[in-house]
Amino acid sequence: MTENDVIEGSNQSEVYETTLGDDTINSRGGDDTIMGGDGDDVVNSGRGSDRIEGGADQDLLRGGQGNDFIYGGDGLDRMIGGSDNDLLHGGDDKDVMYGGSGNDDVVGQDGNDRLFGGDGGDHMNGGKGNDVLAGGIGAGDIFYFYLNDGSDRILDFETGLDRIRFVGTGLEFDDLDISGRGTDTVIRYGDSRIVLKDVDVDDIMPEDFGF
């Protein structure tokens, strides 16, 4: 397919693949595999647990119902998980991801990304770059950080409920440089930092972290 195509799916489990052009794929039901290719594509998956890969350029990828895997690929992509427990994985550019309802895994990878978990207990990892993260409403979100992750900002961290987990860093709580800045808390580790918006530094406890 090389034109700007509109593809309507069925209620069966199918494989959709495009090449060039700004395409729209409406997959409807079934556990589908959708590969977008080049162009600014729009994917609307329906019922079923789908695998969606955006390919190159700026794509809009919507998961719908089911436990979906959505990979943005190259380009400035927007990914929306929808209902159920989804895995959203960005590429090397500036991506925007919305987990939606359910317990989602939202991973930014490289680039200055914006990650929103939505309802549920979500796992959030901005990756490298200066990222903005918000876990959303739910039963405790976990934010994952590695060395050299950049300067990140969490918009809705709740002490005693959410958790920050450092992976593969060799750090302990006493290694963190934690200070207040206005109404925010700033956590510095190595060459990276995390800003907790509107969190009082006096409310921070060791139990808010995992190592």
Task: Give the pLDDT confidence score for residue 192 in this predicted structure.
Answer: 96
Task: Give the pLDDT confidence score for residue 9 in this predicted structure.
Answer: 66
Task: Give the pLDDT confidence score for residue 36 in this predicted structure.
Answer: 77
At 201, is the secondary structure helix, strand, or coil?
helix
Task: Give the pLDDT confidence score for residue 98 in this predicted structure.
Answer: 94
Task: Give the pLDDT confidence score for residue 177 in this predicted structure.
Answer: 98
Task: Give the pLDDT confidence score for residue 23 in this predicted structure.
Answer: 79
**In sequence order, what E strands does 11-141 have?**
15-17, 24-28, 33-35, 42-45, 51-53, 60-62, 69-71, 78-80, 87-89, 96-98, 105-107, 114-116, 123-125, 132-134
Residues 6+ apart with CB under 8 A from 128: 109, 110, 111, 148, 149, 150
Residues in the chain: 211
Task: Give the pLDDT confidence score for residue 195 in this predicted structure.
Answer: 99
CA distance 18 to 61: 14
pLDDT in tens, the chain (211 residues): 557 777 776 777 778 777 777 878 887 778 888 887 788 888 888 788 888 888 778 889 988 888 998 998 888 889 999 888 999 998 888 999 999 888 999 999 888 999 999 999 999 999 999 999 999 987 799 999 999 999 999 999 999 999 999 999 999 999 999 999 999 999 999 999 999 999 999 999 999 999 9
- DSSP string for 155-184: SS--TTTSEEEE-SS---GGG-EEEEETTE
Domain extent listing, the chain = 6-173
Number of continuous H segments (helices) and E segments (strands) in the chain = 0, 22
Contact 23, 7 (CB under 8 A): yes
Contact 155, 132 (CB under 8 A): yes
